[in-house]
Amino acid sequence: MTRIWNARKYDEWYDTAVGAYVLAREQNLLMDAVRGPRVLDAGCGTGRMLRALHEKGFETVGLEPDKDMAEFARRVNPEVDIVQARLEDALSHGLTGPFDTVILNTVLPFAEDPAALMKAASSLLAPGGLLLVGELHPEALWNRWRKEHNGAFADLHFFAPCETATLAGGADLEFVRMSESVRLPAMDMLERMCLGNTIGKIRKMVASDSVPSLWQSVLRPLMAASLLCDAQSMEKFMPESILQFMEKVVPGPGAYYLSIFRAR
């Protein structure tokens, strides 16, 4: 099924506290692994990684099948060549290889045929070139919560590292190494930690006409505080110090991992 994206809404998430934190860690892993000079970001979305690559001096090309996403990426990266096409069809849309690095960052879950996508990426690599596959780990607490509570993720298959490696092997790629990052808890856990349920009840009391005005004046500041205790608001305002602490104490795999493969 082809998804239709709202590029502006998608991009705004990266301006939230959690979004910016996740983006920085993903980009750190990717930038440490990229080899140039030619880099293809396949499934570049709204172009944030493209901008980072271009600023580092790489000869960067973006590929994005969604029209709204591609147009958004072009607006914020006017100096970068961005092709609107699926990776499997990229050559017929004027994309020319080879590339020293191809990036597939959280792209596999949206592919109609992940094996064909991986083979298409492999075909565009120069000999010895690198394929960087960034994915959301299916067993990470945060990703399990997202699948349950975010409709955009509900029907997606998150690929485990072994599945990604199998796909890469089928595309004649050699495994190099894997790194993981973004160790965050399920957001409902944070809600409970912040007494979100209790303060949420206070919020309902303040909104009720049956509560005397004096009590409303006392409870209204608490209602304002409760706005920081639901998952959506916490994503916007969570202090980085708390996110860094969570990285150290949350069990299980990181929510994001990067697998690196080399063309034979």
Side by side, the strands of the sheet bearing 125-136 are 81-83, 59-63, 38-42, 99-105, 125-136, 256-263, 173-181
Fold of 7-184+251-263: Rossmann fold (3.40.50)
For 105, 160, 180, the CA distances from 259, given in Å and listed in that order, are 10, 11, 9
pLDDT per position as a tens digit, 46-97: 999 999 999 999 999 999 999 999 999 999 999 999 999 999 888 888 888 8
Average pLDDT for the chain: 82
pTM over 0.85: no
Residue 89's CB is within 10 A of a number of other CB atoms, namely 13
> What token pair was written down for 71?
């147009």
Q: Which pLDDT score is estimated for 63?
A: 96
pLDDT per position as a tens digit, 146-180: 788 777 788 899 999 999 999 999 999 999 999 98
H/E element, 171: none
Annotated domain spans of the chain: 7-184+251-263, 187-237
pLDDT per position as a tens digit, 4-58: 679 999 899 898 888 888 899 999 999 999 998 999 999 999 999 999 999 999 9
Q: Which pLDDT score is estimated for 225?
A: 47
Q: Which pLDDT score is estimated for 228?
A: 45
> What token pair was written down for 174?
């050699």
Flag the least confident range among 125-129, 144-148, 203-207, 255-259. 203-207
Q: Which pLDDT score is estimated for 226?
A: 45
Q: Which pLDDT score is estimated for 213?
A: 56
**Which of 148-152, 234-238, 251-255 has the highest average model confidence (pLDDT)?**
251-255
Q: What is the pLDDT averaged over residues 98-125?
A: 96
Judge contact between 219 and 202, C-beta under 8 A: yes
Flag the least confident range among 11-15, 136-140, 167-171, 224-228. 224-228
